[in-house]
Structure 1
Amino acid sequence: MLLFELLIGLLLGGAILTALADRIGAPYPVLLALAGTALAVSPIEVPGIRLDPDLALTLFVAPVILDAAFDASPRDLRENWLPVSSLVLVAVALTIAAVALVARWLVPGMPWSAAIALGAVVSPPDPVSATAILGRLSPPRRLVVILEGEGLLNDVSALLVYRLAVGAALGTAFTASHAVPLFLANSLGSVALGWVLARLYLLVTARITDLSISVVTQFVATFAVWIVAEKLGVSTVLTIVVYALILARLTPTHLNAEVRRGSLAVWEVAVYVLNALAFILIGLQLQDIGDAIPGGVARYAAFGVAILGTVIAVRLAWTFTYNVLARLVERFALPAERRTPALRSYKSALVVGWCGMRGLLTLATALALPFDGAFANPEIRDLVIVAAFAVVLGTLVIQGLTLGPLLRWLDLGDDGRALQERAVARQEATRAALRSLDGNQEPEAAILRKEYAVVLQDDAMRHLRPKVFGRLRMAAIAAERDVLLSLRRDRRIGDDAYRDVEEELDWAEGNARRRGRAVRPLDGKDGAAG
């Protein structure tokens, strides 16, 4: 019962801190992690909650990864495959090497296998952290694609090195000739498994039309995919990513509109709850980490800060180096009409370099280290865990809190591409609906033609004065609600009719708010967006 009460308290605290984060403009994962840390070091008696690494990765990472991958765009990832690949492969490799060298320099007695394992633990930016923080900001779409793509794929390289390093720490010999085939087999196996399991899921659930059953099967299948990938020894994250990408392409023909709307709403709440618990629990792990350190706190802290500085510096160095190389290649190898200097700006390099937040993935892999081999020495294992915690908390606080101000200072906002594409999609879909009514002389068809013509005019007018349009639409919906309440109060309609119309108004208001946010001008003024 005590654990249940603690979880309820954490969720309530998470909701309050999220509301506070919205008010002060800070990413909510930062406040949650700081709150967990404050609880861990406070005199208040907080029951210890140990994060089982395997359970933490399955419970917290699998659904969030699937949710992020489901919304990812394969087209955008293909367009930006080079910068994404450079972060997934080169940045991870450089970070592992630099961290291992710094760790060995500071602690000469640390075995190379343990130092490389530490580098692999702290090298991949956490997909949960990136998704949670970027979702509250409005950076250029291309930067979002690069960072989300990195978050979805970087475990393929980092966790492979982690497994090899831990194996070496336990006495298993390996060479580059073994690592390369293993990397290829791991990647190809993950892609194949994700594709097969997605097809199997769609085949098994093809006849499910009930919302509750559909949502339950979605969550069960997500955890099952992760567990199967883990049992087969392939990349769990890459398997989930491929699985989600396949589902995203085929689900529109697989689910009816009611089930799809309900599923999206449930997933949005579930992902938030998992994120809130995960980041608070990250801070609470300081209890166990502090208990594990017998003494020499300053030495452990200095080691953690040194690793944190190395991680941040290496990522920034690589993003600027890549930027310079890309500019040189573009200048000397591409014709003038194909050059895109705006996408190679040093501002973009700085933002990508600063978006290196680590999170649950780093802490869980650190806590999953064995207790034998090179890690039989408790000092070595504790140093790795302390460094991992320092990198997680440090990047969340330092980079997470300053990312919004940095974007504003650099004047980097949404480039409007997604807005333009949404407008094209709505207009073309509406024109297709009008064409389907051509030649139909029924009175109902005439009414529908007028309705669709208004929708087209609505989209055209919306971009002229979006704030005015949004204010008038919300006022109209509020008037409808007042009349609806009055009708129920006067007993002219019953509760069934009230709830049906109320649901229609809820959808209209949600659509109005969403589209209003989408067309908000970057300069905050009324007028055409972009």
Structure 2
Amino acid sequence: METVSIVLFLLLAVVVSGAVSRMLPVSLPTPLVQIALGAAIGLSTEHKVDLDPELFLFLFLPPLLFLDGWRIPKDELLKDMSTVFELALGLVLLTVIGMGFFIHWMIPAMPLAVAFALAAVVSPTDPIAVSAIAARVPIPRRMMHILEGESLLNDASGLVCLRFAVAAALTGTFSASQAALNFLWVAGIGIVVGIAVTLVATRAKAWVSKRFGEESGSQILVSLLIPFGSYLIAEHLHASGILAAVAAGVTMTFAEISRQAMASTRMRRNSVWDTIQFTLNGIIFVLLGEQLPGILAGAAETVRVTGHHGTGWLAIYIVAIVLGLAALRFAWVWVSLRLTLLRKRGQADAQPLHSPNWRLIAAMSFAGVRGAITLAGVLTLPLVLDDGSPFPARDLAIFLAAGVIILSLLIASIALPILLKGLTMPAEPSRQAEEDMARVATAEAAIRAIERAQHDLAEQRGDADFYAAAGSRIMDLYRDRIESRSQGAKASAEARLQDRLERDLRLVGLKAERAALRSLALERRVGSSIAQKLTRELDLLETRYRG
């Protein structure tokens, strides 16, 4: 019962946090509210969560990273892949080395290997925290795609660096060549496992559905099992389970294109995944808040490790680490963007290029917030060394990592609106022509299929005029679409305006239908089954027009 009570408290905190964050007069990201509620739970109840880092990694990160990899726009990710790799690999290595020496210089009592371990866990940015910030701050679309891509890939590099830093702390030895080979194995095998598990699972699912029919519940359950299966297999092979989950999510996009599920299955699956994402995102930050009272309770003892007596020194260390991370990130982003400009100047079709605005670089720097990966990573530090003695400065590392998470979220929520206000981003190429082409091609395919169907029905049942009239009414809708998208830019713009007006009017009509249906149901003039059926139909239509 104690475990059930804790889970219910956490879920209640997640539900309440969304409402509280919307009620606050100032704009705060929901994770900060969730951390505060988690701290309240930790202070007000005797039940404590003994957080197992390995279990935490397994339960929370695979499904969330899988979903991020599944939903991230692939074209935008590939377009900025060089920038993403520079941030996800180069910046992580620079951060581990630079911040490791800085932390050891600042806190001599923390051994160099432990300082590198702390630098490794604070180096990866967090896709969950980035998404939470984006929900309240209007981050430009391309910038958001780069941040999401970076945060998906830098987890593996950061955690591999952590693994070698911990090994150096335990054994006192370190081999750069062995580390490089191990990184190639961890990353390469992790990606291969994620791709293979997804392809095998989706092909098997498609084969069964084709021969024996499709069941929505089973289809949804398979999609939930894929990230966990990828993670477990990769970890069993001593590879990166996190990178396997990301690769599985990216592969899922392409696997679904060729093996489509039923529309009802996709809608239910999206709803299930949205609920899982909302719940797990919230619980992660509530758990961080729930751990804070215990971390703060040992602050007085922790600060003695540094050779000081006042706990204010811990705050100074946290601020110094966050500023150091931001400075390294600012320098690396500036260099990365300059290199990108130099590469584009060498292209034959390059457009006139301008130096990036410093506010854009600063926004990219402060948007690198830390979250679940940092929390999980620092908690995996071992309790004892190989000789049985306590792991040096473990509590101090956990305290500093927790402070970095909270302070980075606070700074991002304050600095990003200021930096992005009125900032003019480089114009993105319009993809309207691509969309119009797709709409015309699908409409033409629909007309051909309807013509074949009406001819077949007329031959089987007779009365060709009846089927021709019915087919013409449907095909006229598609012909209107083709005509409106094929008469030049001006006509296309008018057609899109007409589509928006039609959508708005349809939504007005749907709202009136809902009100009328509700009145009929309350007056018992229609039964509950009929009301539920009509409500589902209205939901589908509203989803279509709002999407």
| TM-score, normalised relative to structure 2 | 0.84
- Going from structure 1 to structure 2, the CA distance change for 1:94 and 1:383 (only over 3 Å counts) comes to same
Corresponding residue to 1:321 among 332, 335, 353: 335
Q: Distance in 2 between matches of 1:10 and 1:414?
A: 43
- Going from structure 1 to structure 2, the CA distance change for 1:36 and 1:492 (only over 3 Å counts) comes to closer
- Going from structure 1 to structure 2, the CA distance change for 1:343 and 1:486 (only over 3 Å counts) comes to farther
Shift of residue 212, structure 1, vs aligned partner:
1.9
Corresponding residue to 1:448 among 464, 474, 486: 474
Corresponding residue to 1:251 among 248, 252, 256: 256
Q: Distance in 1 between matches of 2:74 and 2:46?
A: 44
Counterpart of 1:475 in structure 2 is 508
Counterpart of 2:458 in structure 1 is none
Q: Does 1:304 align with 2:318?
A: yes
Shift of residue 376, structure 1, vs aligned partner:
4.5
Residue by residue over 1:2-46, the C-alpha shift from the partner in whole angstroms, topping out at 9 and shown as x without a partner, is 443343333233223213434655432232123334554x5x335
Moved more, 200-209 or 116-125: 200-209
**Do the aligned residues in 2 keep the contact of 1:362 with 1:388 (CA within 8 Å)?**
yes
Aligned ranges 1:70-469 → 2 under 5 Å: 70-171=70-171, 173-206=173-206, 207-208=208-209, 209-252=214-257, 253-295=259-301, 296=303, 297-331=311-345, 333-335=346-348, 337-339=349-351, 341=353, 344-373=356-385, 376-377=389-390, 380-412=393-425, 417=430, 425-437=438-450, 442-453=468-479, 463-464=496-497
Shift of residue 141, structure 1, vs aligned partner:
2.8
Aligned letter for 1:95? T
Counterpart of 2:489 in structure 1 is none
- Going from structure 1 to structure 2, the CA distance change for 1:301 and 1:123 (only over 3 Å counts) comes to same
Residue by residue over 1:125-166, the C-alpha shift from the partner in whole angstroms, topping out at 9 and shown as x without a partner, is 012212333355543332222111111111222111111111
- Going from structure 1 to structure 2, the CA distance change for 1:413 and 1:32 (only over 3 Å counts) comes to farther
Shift of residue 222, structure 1, vs aligned partner:
2.1
Q: Does 1:61 align with 2:61?
A: yes
Moved more, 470-479 or 483-492: 483-492
Moved more, 352-361 or 25-34: 25-34
Describe the SS at the equivalent of 2:129.
Answer: helix
Moved more, 66-75 or 296-305: 296-305
Moved more, 376-385 or 489-498: 489-498
Shift of residue 378, structure 1, vs aligned partner:
5.8
Moved more, 17-26 or 414-423: 414-423
Describe the SS at the equivalent of 1:125.
Answer: coil
- Going from structure 1 to structure 2, the CA distance change for 1:260 and 1:179 (only over 3 Å counts) comes to same
**Do the aligned residues in 1 keep the contact of 2:111 with 2:392 (CA within 8 Å)?**
no
**Do the aligned residues in 2 keep the contact of 1:477 with 1:505 (CA within 8 Å)?**
yes
**Do the aligned residues in 2 keep the contact of 1:100 with 1:112 (CA within 8 Å)?**
yes
- Going from structure 1 to structure 2, the CA distance change for 1:391 and 1:414 (only over 3 Å counts) comes to farther
- Going from structure 1 to structure 2, the CA distance change for 1:454 and 1:279 (only over 3 Å counts) comes to farther
Residue by residue over 1:499-525, the C-alpha shift from the partner in whole angstroms, topping out at 9 and shown as x without a partner, is 2222111111122223xxxxxxxxxxx
Counterpart of 2:460 in structure 1 is none
Shift of residue 181, structure 1, vs aligned partner:
1.7
Shift of residue 369, structure 1, vs aligned partner:
0.2
Aligned letter for 2:337? N
Counterpart of 1:528 in structure 2 is none
Describe the SS at the equivalent of 1:222.
Answer: helix
Describe the SS at the equivalent of 1:68.
Answer: helix
Q: Distance in 2 between matches of 1:437 and 1:460?
A: 28
Aligned letter for 2:77? L
Q: Distance in 1 between matches of 2:322 and 2:292?
A: 16
Shift of residue 423, structure 1, vs aligned partner:
5.6
| Structure 2: gaps of 5 or more residues | 304-310, 456-467, 486-491
Shift of residue 234, structure 1, vs aligned partner:
0.8
**Do the aligned residues in 2 keep the contact of 1:39 with 1:46 (CA within 8 Å)?**
no
Residue by residue over 1:247-304, the C-alpha shift from the partner in whole angstroms, topping out at 9 and shown as x without a partner, is 2212242422211111111000111001111111112211231233343322333222
| Structure 1: gaps of 5 or more residues | 515-530
- Going from structure 1 to structure 2, the CA distance change for 1:380 and 1:491 (only over 3 Å counts) comes to closer
Aligned letter for 1:450? D
- Going from structure 1 to structure 2, the CA distance change for 1:464 and 1:415 (only over 3 Å counts) comes to farther
Q: Distance in 1 between matches of 2:535 and 2:427?
A: 34
Counterpart of 2:461 in structure 1 is none
Shift of residue 95, structure 1, vs aligned partner:
1.2
Moved more, 170-179 or 427-436: 427-436
Q: Distance in 1 between matches of 2:431 and 2:134?
A: 16
Counterpart of 1:500 in structure 2 is 533
**Do the aligned residues in 1 keep the contact of 2:318 with 2:403 (CA within 8 Å)?**
yes
Shift of residue 199, structure 1, vs aligned partner:
2.0
Moved more, 214-223 or 14-23: 14-23
Describe the SS at the equivalent of 2:393.
Answer: helix
Counterpart of 2:30 in structure 1 is 28
**Do the aligned residues in 2 keep the contact of 1:138 with 1:414 (CA within 8 Å)?**
no
Shift of residue 385, structure 1, vs aligned partner:
0.9
Q: Distance in 2 between matches of 1:438 and 1:132?
A: 48
- Going from structure 1 to structure 2, the CA distance change for 1:339 and 1:468 (only over 3 Å counts) comes to same
**Do the aligned residues in 2 keep the contact of 1:11 with 1:273 (CA within 8 Å)?**
yes
Aligned letter for 1:473? R
Describe the SS at the equivalent of 1:338.
Answer: coil
Q: Distance in 1 between matches of 2:419 and 2:163?
A: 36
Q: Distance in 1 between matches of 2:394 and 2:10?
A: 29
Describe the SS at the equivalent of 2:171.
Answer: coil
Question: Across the two proteins, how many residue pairs are aligned to each other?
Answer: 510
Q: Distance in 1 between matches of 2:505 and 2:429?
A: 24
Q: Distance in 2 between matches of 1:369 and 1:201?
A: 34
Counterpart of 1:522 in structure 2 is none
Describe the SS at the equivalent of 1:139.
Answer: coil
Q: Highest Rg: 1 or 2?
A: 2
